[in-house]
């Protein structure tokens, strides 16, 4: 009987020790969690205090919505030609969106594709053409307003323009320039041409390549840039967690699709979070009127479109 009582007492003491150990471990874990949480709060407070919004820039000389003609407005004429840019300007667009590539002789030309095949009567890669050779091509050769039944601008002398020619023709326009390829060697040339034509405050530089953006920002710090892919993703995640106040942008604008696959990128929360960091939200490439109207209601700051006439019409009816 005594042995049984001793066993019960011993077992009870053992269970008490285990319980005490569990309680002690739980207390230490709770202290660790609380301590970590407090440290995170302090870190968040410090980052919120240190983080700076995007600075103001003359490129955005007003808070007005921007109508951005994608490739000059594909519905208006042959893409990336002075002819089509002129039509877009006459309509009243705010920005011409262009793509730049480098030729064999190191000149910057305005064209979307790596080759001239899709838009001209020529063939081959742009890097195999000198600028003079590019100018012999018919940039309107394949453009058709009626799905290929007619080609009314063939043989009218419409050429692939150089970046300098675009600046010379439209010195008062704002120009959104996309660097198409990771071509670090072209960045100094791009910066020089912008400066030579006194366009530093009238251009917005965009690229999907982080290296190109980083180099451009270091060489041409006075020019406006949009956020690169990794910067957009980082901001998107922060605003999802409502932590956008700790974000210090290197860019002045977020140029994004309305959706990425099944993911809704642009909504009212995204726009409001961007505005808190003084970032403009510009959405590409929107061609249907219903989407244009929806984005206008969300308060986005600009839309890139192949149909600027539709967007201008939607603005009038706003």
**Is 48's pLDDT higher than 50?**
no
Q: What does the CA dihedral 120, 121, 123, 125 come to, rounded to 10 degrees?
A: -30
**CA torsion through residues 57, 71, 185, 104, sign:** negative
Do 309 and 84 touch, CB atoms closer than 8 A? no
* Residue ranges of domains in the chain: 1-50, 58-316
Sign of CA dihedral 9, 14, 18, 23: positive
Q: Helix 289-298 to helix 308-316 angle, to the nearest 10 degrees?
A: 50
Mean pLDDT of the chain: 89
306-310 mean pLDDT? 98
pLDDT band, very low/low/confident/very high, at 180 (cuts 50, 70, 90):
confident
List b or e across 13-32, with b for residues whose CB sees 16 or more CB atoms inside 10 angstroms. Answer: eeeeeeeeeeeeeeeeeeee
Q: Are 256 and 265 in contact (CB under 8 A)?
A: yes
Specify the length of the chain in residues. 318
The answer to whether 300 and 309 have CB atoms below 8 angstroms apart is no
Lowest mean pLDDT among 156-165, 178-187, 281-290: 178-187
Locate 4 and state its tokens: 């049984």
DSSP 174: E
Residues 6+ apart with CB under 8 A from 40: none
Is pTM beyond 0.75? Reply is yes
Residue 236: per-residue pLDDT = 97
**154 has pLDDT over 70:** yes
Query: Which residue, chain included where needed, has tokens 């838009």?
Result: 119
pLDDT top residue among 11 and 237: 237
Q: Do the beta carbons of residue 238 and residue 258 sit within 8 Å?
A: no
Say what percent of the chain tops pLDDT 90. 78
How many Cβ atoms are within 10 Å of 289's Cβ, its own excluded?
14
Query: Per residue in 71-122, pLDDT tens?
Result: 999 999 999 999 999 999 999 999 999 999 999 999 999 999 999 999 999 9
Percent of the chain with pLDDT over 70: 84
Query: From residue 98, how far is each of 2, 81, 178, 203 by CA, in Å?
Result: 95, 10, 6, 11
pLDDT: which is higher, 52 or 90: 90
pLDDT at 316: 84
The predicted pLDDT at position 174 comes to 98
3-class secondary structure per residue, 54-113: CCCCHHHCCCCCEEEEECCCCCCCCCCCHHHHHHHHHHCCCEEEEEEEECCCCCEEECCC
Reduced to 3 states, what is the DSSP secondary structure of residue 223? coil
Contact in structure between 88 and 96 (CB atoms under 8 Å): yes
Q: What is the CATH number of domain 58-316?
A: 3.20.20.190
pLDDT at 16: 73
User: What proportions of the chain, in percent to the nearest 5, are helix, strand and coil?
Assistant: 45, 15, 40
**Range in 82-86, 121-125, 167-171, 312-316 the model is least confident about:** 312-316
């Amino acid at each position: 009987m005594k042995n049984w009582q001793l066993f019960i007492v011993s077992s009870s003491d053992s269970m008490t020790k285990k319980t005490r150990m569990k309680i002690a471990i739980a207390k230490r874990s709770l202290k660790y969690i609380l301590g970590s949480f407090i440290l995170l709060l302090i870190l968040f407070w410090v980052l919120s205090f240190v983080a700076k919004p995007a600075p103001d820039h003359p490129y955005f000389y007003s808070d007005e919505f921007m109508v951005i003609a994608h490739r000059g407005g594909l519905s208006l004429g042959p893409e990336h030609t002075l002819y089509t840019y002129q039509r877009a300007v006459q309509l009243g667009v705010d920005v011409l969106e262009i793509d730049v590539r480098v030729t064999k002789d190191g000149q910057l030309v305005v064209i979307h594709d790596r080759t001239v095949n899709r838009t001209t009567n020529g063939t081959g890669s742009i890097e195999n053409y000198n600028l003079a050779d590019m100018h012999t091509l018919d940039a309107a050769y394949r453009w058709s307003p009626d799905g290929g039944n007619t080609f009314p601008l063939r043989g009218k002398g419409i050429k692939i323009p150089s970046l300098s020619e675009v600046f010379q023709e439209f010195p008062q326009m704002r120009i959104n320039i996309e660097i198409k390829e990771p071509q670090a060697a072209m960045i100094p040339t791009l910066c020089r041409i912008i400066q030579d034509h006194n366009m530093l405050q009238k251009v917005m530089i965009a690229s999907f390549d982080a290296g190109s953006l980083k180099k451009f920002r270091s060489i041409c710090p006075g020019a406006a840039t949009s956020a690169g892919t990794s910067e957009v993703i980082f901001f998107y995640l922060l605003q999802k967690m409502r932590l956008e106040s700790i974000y210090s942008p290197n860019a002045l604008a977020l140029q994004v699709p309305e959706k990425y696959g099944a993911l809704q990128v642009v909504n009212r929360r995204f726009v409001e979070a961007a505005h808190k960091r003084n970032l403009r939200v510009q959405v590409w490439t929107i061609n249907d009127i219903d989407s244009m109207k929806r984005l206008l209601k969300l308060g986005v700051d600009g839309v890139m479109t192949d149909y600027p006439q539709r967007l201008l019409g939607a603005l009038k009816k706003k």
